[in-house]
Amino acid sequence: MMLIAIGWIVFLLFIGGLLLDRTLSGLITRNFDEQLEYMLTAMVASAEIGPDGEVFFSRPLGDQRFLEPNSGLYWQITGEGHEDFPSRSLWDRTLEVRSTDHMEPLVWDNRQFAGEPLRMMQRPIILPGSETMWWFTVAASRSDLDAQIARFRSILAYSFAVLGTGLIVMAALQTWLGLSPLRGIRRAIQRIRVTGENRVTEPLPLEVQPMVEELNALLSHSERQAEEARAHAGNLAHALKTPLTVLTNAATAHAPDLELLVQREAAVMRRQVDHHLARARAVGRRATGLARSDVREAAEAVERAVGQLHPDVRFDIDTARESTRDPIVALERQDLDEILGNCIENAAKYGGGSVFVTVDAEPADTASCVVWVEDDGMGIPPEDRSRIFDRGARLDTGKPGTGLGLAIVRDVVEIYGGSVALGESEDLGGLLVELRLPRAATENGGTIAGTATTR
Given a contact cutoff of 8 angstroms between Cβ atoms, the answer to whether 375 and 431 are in contact is yes
Average pLDDT (219-236) is 76
Given a contact cutoff of 8 angstroms between Cβ atoms, the answer to whether 164 and 7 are in contact is no
Query: Environment class of residue 108 by beta-carbon count within 10 Å: exposed (0-12), middle (13-18) or buried (19+)?
Result: exposed
Strands 314-319 and 354-359: what pairing?
parallel
For the stretch 375-434, pLDDT in tens is 998 888 888 877 777 654 444 444 444 445 677 788 888 888 899 999 898 888 899 999
Nearest 5°: phi and psi at 369? -100, 115
Which of 62-66, 73-77, 182-186 has the weakest average pLDDT? 182-186
Choose between 149 and 265: higher pLDDT.
149
Rounded to the nearest integer, the mean pLDDT of the chain is: 83
Q: Find, among 180, 219, 215, 214, the residue nearest to 196 by Cα.
A: 219
pLDDT given for residue 390 in this prediction: 65
Taking the C-alpha atoms of residue 288 and residue 293, their distance in angstroms, rounded to an integer, is: 14
Q: Find, among 352, 344, 335, 348, the residue nearest to 437 by Cα.
A: 335
Taking the C-alpha atoms of residue 140 and residue 431, their distance in angstroms, rounded to an integer, is: 114
pLDDT above 50 for 454: no
Start-to-end Cα distance in the chain: 62
Pick from 35-39, 263-267, 287-291 the range whose average pLDDT is largest: 35-39
pLDDT above 80 for 276: no
Taking the C-alpha atoms of residue 150 and residue 26, their distance in angstroms, rounded to an integer, is: 13
Share of the chain above pLDDT 90, in %: 32
pLDDT given for residue 400 in this prediction: 45
Where along the chain do its domains lie? 2-148, 211-286, 293-438
Choose between 183 and 236: higher pLDDT.
183
Choose between 350 and 150: higher pLDDT.
150
pLDDT above 90 for 39: yes
pLDDT above 60 for 446: no
Q: How many CB atoms lie within 10 A of CB 207?
A: 9
Average pLDDT (340-360) is 89
pLDDT given for residue 156 in this prediction: 93
Given a contact cutoff of 8 angstroms between Cβ atoms, the answer to whether 323 and 368 are in contact is no
What CATH number should be reported for the domain whose range is 2-148?
3.30.450
Angle at 104 (CA atoms; ends 101, 105), nearest 5 degrees = 110
Taking the C-alpha atoms of residue 415 and residue 291, their distance in angstroms, rounded to an integer, is: 13
Choose between 179 and 38: higher pLDDT.
38
For the stretch 419-445, pLDDT in tens is 999 989 888 889 999 999 998 876 555
Taking the C-alpha atoms of residue 126 and residue 131, their distance in angstroms, rounded to an integer, is: 6
pLDDT given for residue 266 in this prediction: 85
pLDDT given for residue 392 in this prediction: 47
Taking the C-alpha atoms of residue 350 and residue 374, their distance in angstroms, rounded to an integer, is: 11
For the stretch 294-330, pLDDT in tens is 999 999 999 988 888 888 999 998 876 555 567 889 8
For the stretch 193-204, pLDDT in tens is 787 777 877 777
H/E stretch holding 424: strand 419-424
pLDDT above 60 for 360: yes
Local structure of 134: helix, strand or coil: strand
pLDDT above 80 for 236: no
Nearest 5°: phi and psi at 41? -65, -40
Local structure of 321: helix, strand or coil: coil
Class for the domain spanning 293-438: alpha beta
pLDDT given for residue 227 in this prediction: 79
For the stretch 106-153, pLDDT in tens is 999 999 888 899 999 999 998 888 888 999 999 999 998 999 999 999
pLDDT given for residue 28 in this prediction: 94
pLDDT given for residue 453 in this prediction: 34
Decide if 2-148 and 293-438 have a common fold: no
* Ranges of H-type helices in 196-294: 209-252, 258-286
